Structures are given as structure tokens and as C-alpha cells.
Amino acid sequence: MADALVPFVLEGAAVRGACARMDATAHDALAAHDYPPPLKRVLAELMAAAALLASSLKFRGSLIVQLAGPGPVKLAVIECDHALSLRATAQWDRDAVSRLPAGASLAQLAGDASQARLAITLDPEDGPLYQGIVALEAGSVATLLEHYLASSEQLESRLALAVDDGRVGGLLVQRLPGAHDDAAGAWEEAARVVGGASAQDLVAADDPTGVLAALFPTRDLRVFEARAPRFACRCSNARVEQALRIAGRDEIEAALAEAGEVVVTCEYCGRRYTYPPGQARSLFEPAAGSGGPA
Ligand SMILES: [Zn+2]
């Protein structure tokens, strides 16, 4: 079964939503690192949430979900672009994470809740950044993001996320602004369905359309064309070389002196970029100013 994200509306009601199934995306994106189980689960939840939030973006660009705290997890980053290409990375203290329960919350992973933050950044290709920050109470990922949506988008939202034995799914419903609720109680029903959906419910069917049909048996659902979330890293030789130029010649010489070559490992996908001395130094030659060596 391929990963899919299915947008939908409840006919005759001011309710829209999206339902996602992302087993392969999460598996592929998290394969580069040996994440401890609680962190892996939270990263998969954040990936499903990021795809659901990004599916309604009206611009070309990225949505970035970033958790920062004093630890055991210092940093977790999920990027999802307008085409639903996702990648993820994290920095954590293995011993400290191993002392946490398997079901550790986001707040437990991030450490002191008063210092930890969950930031959602919208990064359009041709516009200014927008960033919303959610304080990290002892809430679930879904609850935190509901707060974010209520404050930043002014949209009443309900979000449910499921990570269960390699299966990753999520369901988002939003009450559209300014519209009266034509279909009696549609929003209340949608909110109740999402609030009551178990992890099993969200990944029970093979695809999101089947999940929606089971969760809304009596509603007239209009389901739109399924989209395909997938893991894709944006790292490239050009980006790595640009980063090395910014790091500067001294930094590169220090790396060459220590290791005999410059090795850069992408923190997202784990791909290694290796530069022997001649190639590394050529990045700083005047001719490299017009786009770099081939
Ligand atoms: Zn990469």
C-alpha cells in the first residue's frame, strides 16, 4: 500500500479536513539514524502532523516543525514542502532518552517544559517567514498543534495522530470560518469523531479513504484526489559546497589537517559528502565564484 494524504469536506457543512497514511514516508525518513523508540514515535507523529498542516498551504515553500528544549531531546526538526516531501532529524542524549518510558510525551522528551518550545515556521519561496510558537505544556503533539492552529490560523481544529507498529496515520478536521453550520451538528460530530478516534481507528483500513468511510458512516463525504507524501532530502553537492564556503578556508584547512579530507554528513538523510584536499581547496579559488567546480 502506497502512502497517501486525502483531503475532504463534509458536504453541506463548513468542515474540511485531511486524512493521511504515511508508513513508508516515516520509515524512510527515520532510517538514517538509530532513533530511540520514544523519539522515533514522536518524530513519526510530527511527520504526519506536518504533512496534514502542509497539505493546506497556499504557497510554494516549506513548513518546518521544530522542537527545541534542554533535553533529553535537544532538537527535533521536520520539514515538509508544498509537494509533501518530508525529511526529519534530531539531536538527543541517548542515555537520558533511554531512561524515559516508551510512551514518553513530547514534554518529557524535551525536558523542562518551561524552557522547551515547539515552533512552526512557514517558509514561502518568495515571501517572508512566518513563525508560530507553542509553549510546551504536558500535552500530546496533537493537542499542541490544535492550540497552534487556533491561535495562528484562527481555525478551530481537531487533530489525531497514530503511530502503531510501523503504521503511521493522522486525521485533521477544521471548521471553516464565517460559515454557518448548515448540516446540523456537523462540526460537533467531526470534532467528536476525531477526539474519539483511537490509534487503531486511524490505521485500521488500508488507505485514508477507508478510514474516513469507517469514521463518518452517515456523512456525505466529498473526497479529493489523493496526494502522495514521501521522504526526500534536499541535500546536494551544491548546497554542501555553499555551506563549506560559508564555513571558511580556515575551517576547511583545520578539517584537512585532522582527517586528510573534508567529510560532511547530511544530518537528515545520513548521506556522506567527501572532498579530497584539492577539491576542498578549489572551493575557495576565484574561479569558483561563478558557480563552483563541476
Ligand atoms: Zn540529505
| Residue 271 CA to ligand 1 centre (angstroms) | 6
CA–centroid distance, 247 to ligand 1, in Å, is: 18
> Between helices 23-30 and 37-54, what is the axis angle to 10°?
130
56-83: buried (b, 16+ CB within 10 Å) or exposed (e) per residue?
ebeeebbbbbbbbbebbbbebbbbbbbe
Domain boundaries, the chain: 4-231, 237-290
Q: 168: pLDDT confidence band, cut at 50, 70 and 90? A: very high
Cα(122) to ligand 1 centroid in Å equals 20
pTM for this predicted structure = 0.90
Residue 223 pLDDT more than 90?
A: yes
Q: Which chain residues have CB less than 5 Å from ligand 1, an ion?
A: 233, 235, 266, 268-269, 271
The yes-or-no verdict on residue 79 having pLDDT over 80 is yes
- Return the C-alpha cell found at 5: 494524504
- For residue 25, report the distance from its CA to the centre of ligand 1, in Å: 15
Q: How far apart are CA 167 and CA 156, in angstroms?
A: 27
Greater confidence (294 vs 79) lies with 79
| Ligand 1 centre distance from Cα of residue 85 (Å) | 12
- 237-290 domain in CATH 1.20.58.1000? no
**What value does the mean pLDDT take over residues 151-169?**
91
Q: Name the fold adopted by 4-231.
A: Hsp33 domain (3.55.30)
